[in-house]
Amino acid sequence: MSLRRSTAGRAAGLILLVGLGLALGAEAAVRFQPAHPPLADDTGALVEVRVDERIFTLFAALNAAGYDRQGFEEAYHPARQITRAYLAERRLPSLTRLRWRLNVAQPYSDVVWCLHFGEAPQFKRAVGGWHLPALPALLFFGLDDAVRAFYREADLGSVWAQVQPYYQAEAEALRAAAPPALQSTLDYLRLRTLPIDRIVIIPNLLDAHWSGYGPEIGGVGYVIVGPTRQPPSLDLVQHEALHSLLGPLVNADAGSVDRAQAERLQTALRPGLTGSYGTWESLLEESAVRAVGVRLTEPEWRANALLNDEAQGLGLVRPLAEALAAYEAQAGSIEDYLPQWLAVLNELDPASLGLTAPE
C-alpha cells in the first residue's frame, strides 16, 4: 500500500518535472529566440510614419479570431470591412491555433509581441530580449508559426495590396501633422535626455476608432493608432507617444506616492474604472499621461477632456493636471518636477475624487 502510494507519488512528481521542463523550454525558446535585426534604414529623423504589414497581419488574424471591438459607434473603417469580408470567405485552419494563443479580448500584449518581429510574411525575430515583463514568454510559444500559416492560408498579401492605399493616405496625413504635435509635446516636457531613440507611428485601420497602443521596445517608442476622422487625431498620437516619453519616468518615481495612500486611491477608483489598469503603476502612468494631454489641449477643450477622463473612472487626472500649472510657471524639466508632482496625490482624500457616477 505504502509502496504503491510512493510509486504513484513518484510518477506524479516525474510528470510535474517533465511538465516544468517543457514550460521552461518553451519560455526560453521564445525569450531567447535569436534575433535578426533589419539593416538600419534610419533617416535620422526622430519621427517616422510607417505603413506596416506586420501590424496589418496581426489585426487581420485578431479580426478573423473574433476581435470585433468598435469605438464611438462608428462603422468599421472601409479597410477593416474589406479585410473581414475577404477573410470570411477563406478556409483558415490556423485559426484554431490563433484563437488559443491570441488575446482577442485585450490585444495589447499581442501588439507588443508582434513588434519583436520583422517584416511580413517572414516574421523573423528582429528584436532580442523580452519586452512584456508582466507576462511569461511561453504564452506566445508557436504564435509566430501560427501567424505565418495564417498569412499563407489567407493569401493575405492580396487583400493587403487592395487596402494598402487607405493606409498610405492615413500615413500621408500623419506625416504632415504628427511631427509638429510631437514637437510641442517635447517642448512641454523639456526633457534633458530622451528616454527613446525615435518614435514610429503606425496607422492601424483594422482596429476600433480612436484606439491606440504606445509600447516602447528596443529604444523605439511606438504609436499605433486606430482610425479617426480626417484629419487624424493628434491628441491620440500625443497620448500614445507620452506613454514612451513620460511613462518610464513616472514609473521610476512612483515611490513618491506613499504605498498605503496608493492603495487607498486605487481602492476608491477601482469600481468605476472602464479600462484595464490592473496595477497601481499602470493606473498612475495612464493618469499622468492624460494629465499632460489635458494641458496640451486648447484651454477651451480642457474641461471636457477632464469630464471624459472622470467618466472612465480616472479621477487622478484632474489633480495631476491642476498641479502641472506650477510646473509650467517655472523653467525646469519635468524630470526634476516629477517627485513633487506625483506627491500631490499624497494629500488627496480618496472620497473627494471627482467621479461621475456610471450611467
CB of 285 to Zn ion, least distance (A): 8
Peptide bond between residue 319 and the one before it cis (omega within 30 degrees of 0): no
Going residue by residue from 274 to 293, which x/- string records binding to Zn ion, judged by CB under 5 A? ------------x-------
Number of chain residues interacting with Zn ion (CB under 5 A): 1
Q: Residues 221, 214: contact at Cβ < 8 Å?
A: yes
Going residue by residue from 227 to 266, which x/- string records binding to Zn ion, judged by CB under 5 A? ----------------------------------------
Residue placing its CB nearer to Zn ion in the complex, 235 or 286: 286
Q: Distance (Å, rounded) from C-alpha 181 to C-alpha 190?
A: 15
Q: What residue number has its CB nearest to Zn ion?
A: 286
Rg (CA), the chain: 23
CB of 289 to Zn ion, least distance (A): 5
Residue placing its CB nearer to Zn ion in the complex, 101 or 318: 318
Residue placing its CB nearer to Zn ion in the complex, 19 or 275: 275
Residue placing its CB nearer to Zn ion in the complex, 110 or 286: 286
Residue placing its CB nearer to Zn ion in the complex, 94 or 287: 287
Q: DSSP alpha helices (H): ranges in the chain?
A: 2-31, 53-64, 78-88, 95-101, 108-114, 143-154, 156-189, 234-245, 247-252, 259-269, 280-296, 299-311, 317-328, 334-343
Query: In Å, how far from its chain's centre is CA 330?
Result: 32
CB of 290 to Zn ion, least distance (A): 7
CB of 245 to Zn ion, least distance (A): 12
CB of 240 to Zn ion, least distance (A): 7
Write down the residue that cell numbers 526622430 correspond to: 46
C-beta atoms surrounding 294 within 10 Å = 22
Residues that bind Zn ion (CB under 5 A): 286
